[in-house]
């Protein structure tokens, strides 16, 4: 396989996608793929809609850009609720015999994008 064929496969994967905003962050949504986002109030198996769609690319030259949002919604299904990796916060004051170690695991929701 020559390098040109390989790059064609990579660009074909991103022909249809959307940029959504949830939890104060932006995510790239690809149909059929899963993404881990900020915690939502939904159970596993529930359907959710993301109405804050910033950009949607449908084909070769079909790009819709919202000002600030598009009128269409991205539909997804909740796969599971879980916690992210443990992050350590360590406070320390030199020469004062003060050290404090705190761990935190952020609650996240894993969703599978159904349609853009």
Full residue range of the structural domain in which residue 61 is found = 3-115
- Please tell me the total count of domains within the chain: 1
Q: What is the pLDDT of residues 43-76, one digit of tens each?
A: 999 999 999 999 999 887 889 999 999 999 999 9
What per-residue string of b and e applies to 103-116 under the rule 16 or more CB within 10 Å gives b?
Answer: eeeeebbebebeeb
Dihedral pair phi/psi, residue 67, rounded to 5°: -135, 80
Order of all β-strands in the sheet with 17-22:
25-30, 17-22, 53-57, 63-65
Give me the pLDDT at residue 29, please: 95
């Amino acid at each position: 396989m020559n390098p040109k064929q390989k790059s064609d496969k990579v660009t074909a994967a991103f022909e249809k996608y959307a940029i959504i905003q949830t939890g104060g962050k932006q995510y790239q949504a690809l149909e059929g793929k899963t993404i881990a986002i900020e915690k939502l109030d939904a159970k596993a198996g529930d359907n959710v809609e993301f109405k804050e769609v910033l950009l949607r690319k449908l084909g070769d030259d079909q790009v819709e850009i919202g000002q600030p949002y598009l009128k269409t919604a991205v539909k997804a299904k909740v796969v599971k609720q879980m916690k992210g990796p443990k992050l350590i916060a360590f406070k320390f004051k030199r020469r004062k015999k003060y050290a404090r170690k705190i761990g935190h695991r952020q609650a996240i929701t894993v969703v599978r994008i159904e349609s853009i």
